[in-house]
Amino acid sequence: MVEKRTGLELNFGKLKTTELASKLKSINQTLKKTEQPTEELKILCLNLVEPKLLTHKIYVPDHPFDEIQLQDVFTVFIHQLKNLHQPENPFFTYYFQLAESLTKVRSICLMGSLEQEVHDELMIEFFQNSFNNINKNTPINVYLLISELLVNLIQEAPSIPSPVCRLIINHFEKKKKIENITAHQMAIDICKSTTMKLQRFVCQHFSELLNQASNTSIPGSPNSSSDEAPSSKQEAAKALLSVHKLILQIHNNCPDLLINVIPQLEMELECEVETRSLAVQILGEMFLDSRMEQTPGMKSFYETWPGVWKSWCDRRNDSSVLVRTLWVELCANIFKFKPELIKALTPCLHEKLMDLEEKVRIASINVFKNLTITDIINIPKSLLLDVSERCRDKKINVRNEAATVLAKIYNKCFKLIKSGENLNASDKFGWIPSHILNLQYVDDKELIALIERLFNEEILPPNLNDDERTDRTLIFLDSLFLSENVDRNRKAFLAYLDRQDT
């Protein structure tokens, strides 16, 4: 028996603290060398379960404890493990050994055999202690040990208590990341290691949050009231926004965790304006994320969720101007960062450039406003021609925006036209100056003033030296007089020159 091999009698009642510590060290060394499971340890384990002494290595899967004893064991363990965050503690080595032992043989998993209520209380306490105390000064070996213990608890738990799920999810918030980046990273690491187990509970958590926020903030919903104070509705709307932002943060770090949440966002595309505008916003940002496709074997978000992509694209024809405008604005970043989606979005944007609402048409034009040369090269000429049609829009703001965007595109791409490196550049962009010049025939004083400003700032900018200005002028004249409408272009150009003289 272990008692005989160590020369110790396990009678702790009358021992002084120093003697008790000495005996425990000796037992600790013996237990380290003992294989598990060992039948002869049963008596020792039972002797170790005393109110004064509940700090020992237990073994799995068969333990000799009844329900109350096992509860006492883990209650003490959880309390002792708080001290893992105190490296300066004189007994830190033993706290670390306790955690190491619980991890090494996965005996922490025995917590799952406790009654549900007791198990949940202990699990919640351990998670709260861990997240509250972990910080940037925590040694990496302690961080890894705690993370592994938490992962083991989740993997073996019959169910995940709501407070635990909420605690983990909330640490994805940007605010939490700023407050404690180590706890934020631990939440990410835990979720990546337990994705399959957590998916159902995360879905349940967000279902409750989304339903609660939507029912409170949306007029006409079951839980809303016509007498509800504006401040209350604003708070509810803010809560709904926070939930969607949190979903986006989780997607950016652990997208697979949301496999059951994404369909809920798709359903929101059919809800009230406030809700579906948030869903359009969040899904639009998710389609931009490239991290999934950078992982070997993983598809992009839009490839993983083709049905969601189609539902999102359908929102371009939403009955709400707000939603249609938002959808178009999100296309700007997709054109910029996801060139592979341009082909799919081209017919959609073609429609929106002819939308009945002025705001939507302007937003569609502005998709091209801040694109770089590299981005513009990926844009099909047909879309630029669609923009040129808006230069004759019945609304002055639309006309001005379209002409300005085209002039800026020409200025950005002039070097490509001049160098000839891109064989399509001249055909794709060379027609822009003559098109802008011909807008004089609209006979609108404001538009004519805009034409002159665009020529002076974008087509023939003032910061050019003589050689550059000559090159620009010659290339511009070539495009002007080599087109089909030579006479029309010549008259427009002469009219422009006449105004310069006056």
Out of 72-76, 90-94, 392-396, 491-495, least confident range:
491-495
Print the SS3 string covering 367-422: CCCCCCHHHHHCCCHHHHHHHHHHHHCCCHHHHHHHHHHHHHHHHHHHHHHHHCCC
DSSP state of 458: I
Mean pLDDT taken over the chain: 85
Contact 44, 22 (CB under 8 A): no
Query: 294 pLDDT exceeds 70?
Result: no
Residues 40, 44, 46, 51, Cα dihedral to 10°: -170
Alpha-carbon distances, residue 16 vs 51, 91, 454 (angstroms): 15, 17, 92
pLDDT digits (tens, 9 = 90+) for 157-180: 989 999 999 999 999 999 999 999
Percent of the chain with pLDDT over 90: 52
Short-list 420, 403, 416, 412, CA closest to 461:
412
Higher pLDDT, 323 or 67: 323
Q: What is the pLDDT of residue 69?
A: 83
* pLDDT confidence band for 229 (50 / 70 / 90): low
Residues 95 and 109: their CA atoms lie apart, in Å, by 18
Query: Both ends of the chain: CA-CA distance in Å?
Result: 112
AA letter at 413? C
Q: What is the pLDDT of residue 409?
A: 96
- pTM here is 0.81
Higher pLDDT, 424 or 193: 193
Short-list 101, 154, 113, 105, CA closest to 130:
154
Using DSSP's 3-state secondary structure scheme, residue 53 falls into strand
Letter string b/e over residues 339-365, b meaning 16 or more CB atoms within 10 A of that residue's CB: eebbeebeebbeebbebeeeebbbbbb
169's tokens? 């999810």
Query: 4 pLDDT exceeds 70?
Result: no
213's tokens? 């926020």
Report the pLDDT averaged over residues 223-235.
61
Residues 432 and 439: their CA atoms lie apart, in Å, by 11
pLDDT digits (tens, 9 = 90+) for 60-71: 455 666 778 888
10 Å Cβ neighbour count for 405?
22
Q: What is the pLDDT of residue 110?
A: 82
Mark residue 297 as left, alpha or beta (left: phi above 0; alpha: psi -120 to 50; beta: remaining). left
Query: 30 pLDDT exceeds 60?
Result: yes
Q: What is the pLDDT of residue 67?
A: 76
* pLDDT confidence band for 248 (50 / 70 / 90): very high
10 Å Cβ neighbour count for 274?
18
Residues 105 and 60: their CA atoms lie apart, in Å, by 7
Out of 35-49, 90-104, 296-310, least confident range:
35-49
Q: What is the pLDDT of residue 441?
A: 81
Query: 387 pLDDT exceeds 90?
Result: yes
Query: 14 pLDDT exceeds 80?
Result: no
Q: What is the pLDDT of residue 53?
A: 42
Q: What is the pLDDT of residue 418?
A: 87
Higher pLDDT, 502 or 152: 152
Query: 56 pLDDT exceeds 50?
Result: no
pLDDT digits (tens, 9 = 90+) for 389-446: 999 999 999 999 999 999 999 999 998 988 877 778 888 999 999 899 888 887 778 8
Out of 1-10, 61-70, 338-347, 433-442, least confident range:
1-10
Higher pLDDT, 311 or 87: 311
